[in-house]
Homo-oligomer: A and B are copies of this chain.
């Protein structure tokens, strides 16, 4: 794909070579994310960070990624404060807001809404999550994390064995990641969920058609025995009709250090798109895993910054100029100490 000026709406836009190029650029962003260097390449550029559904972490991650490239951020953080409630179409909103910025990141509760918005936008649009549909940057940062974690073991993504756990029906990060894995060979996927929260059948079909070995399970312990990655997810309470319905499934699959030690291969990597639900009735990943060096959940979120910086740099075509407009950090950097 040609990244320059492109909308980033779906994982289905990406070929394997695109993913690999993106990961190379993400690696180049590391000195800036780690505050060893500062770049001003996007000085004067404006990101319209339009979150029509609340999400502090994703919103701040996109915004910080843009700031780290030297750009400014204008944003909105909720549906209420929007003209949409006055009856404006998404296309109108897009025509208006795209006049105010150089690139837009958008989250919206309705599936397909970001693509609708992009169709009328005059600047590139990135999908920050559209309902239960997709969340492509999360899938890309997940795969980037997998690649980095496996690289430490001298491995690539081909040949990956991964268990995905939890609310696979509503968890859009799982949907997008599943599609992305179709670009690779010799992948084994184990889907662990209550039957009612199973991964949508069309995605399972897509994976099988691409040659992935997919198995389905409703039981955690035995299913995580022979994998490289355990990918746990949260019950997406906000996608259920009632809280009571969500409560039926909360806490069904809990991983802690004892289970990990008993069932997993040594050095199985633990991932989660976050936030993990740490309330006692959920506790998807017990805090006793926090000292386990294979818990990669916070490396995931850090990698998100790199992926988003890389996407901005690619879409705005400044990859080759990032270093040119850079200088050393002038302030105390907690990360290096």
Q: Which of A290-337 contact B (CB under 8 A)?
A: 298, 301-302, 305, 315-318, 321, 325, 329-335, 337
A55 to B274, CA, bound (A): 27
Q: Which 6 pairs from chain A and chain B are nearest by CB?
A: A38-B44, A54-B81, A88-B275, A87-B277, A83-B275, A317-B332
Q: CB of A100 within 8 A of chain B? A: yes
Given A38-B44, A44-B329, A334-B5, A83-B68 contact (CB < 8 Å)? no
Chain-B contact segment, one of A59-67, A175-183, A186-194, A214-222? A59-67
- Residues on B with beta carbons closer than 8 Å to the beta carbon of A279: 87
* Closest-CB distance, A49 to chain B (whole angstroms): 9
- By DSSP majority rule, is chain A's interface helix, strand, loop, or mixed? loop
Chain-B contact segment, one of A91-99, A127-135, A254-262? A91-99
Q: CB of A41 within 8 A of chain B? A: yes
Asked if B101 and A64 sit within 8 Å, CB to CB, the answer is yes
A301 to B97, CA, bound (A): 9
23 cross-chain CB contacts under 8 A: A5-B332, A5-B334, A55-B81, A55-B83, A56-B82, A56-B97, A57-B97, A63-B74, A64-B74, A72-B73, A87-B277, A87-B282, A88-B275, A88-B277, A93-B275, A95-B301, A96-B298, A96-B301, A99-B302, A99-B305, A100-B305, A102-B331, A102-B334
Given A5-B334, A92-B276, A234-B86, A56-B81 contact (CB < 8 Å)? yes
Given A74-B60, A77-B77, A237-B86, A92-B275 contact (CB < 8 Å)? yes
Q: CB of A205 within 8 A of chain B? A: no
* Closest-CB distance, A33 to chain B (whole angstroms): 8
* Closest-CB distance, A231 to chain B (whole angstroms): 17
Q: CB of A161 within 8 A of chain B? A: no
A315 to B124, CA, bound (A): 33
Closest B residue to A280 using CB positions:
B87
- Residues on B with beta carbons closer than 8 Å to the beta carbon of A275: 83, 86-88, 92-93, 96
* Closest-CB distance, A258 to chain B (whole angstroms): 20
Q: CB of A185 within 8 A of chain B? A: no
A276 to B72, CA, bound (A): 29
Asked if A5 and B337 sit within 8 Å, CB to CB, the answer is yes
Q: Mark A244-277, 1 if CB is under 8 A from B, else 0.
A: 0000000000000000000000000000001111
Q: CB of A210 within 8 A of chain B? A: no
* Closest-CB distance, A322 to chain B (whole angstroms): 10
Asked if B329 and A287 sit within 8 Å, CB to CB, the answer is no
Q: CB of A157 within 8 A of chain B? A: no
A63 to B97, CA, bound (A): 12
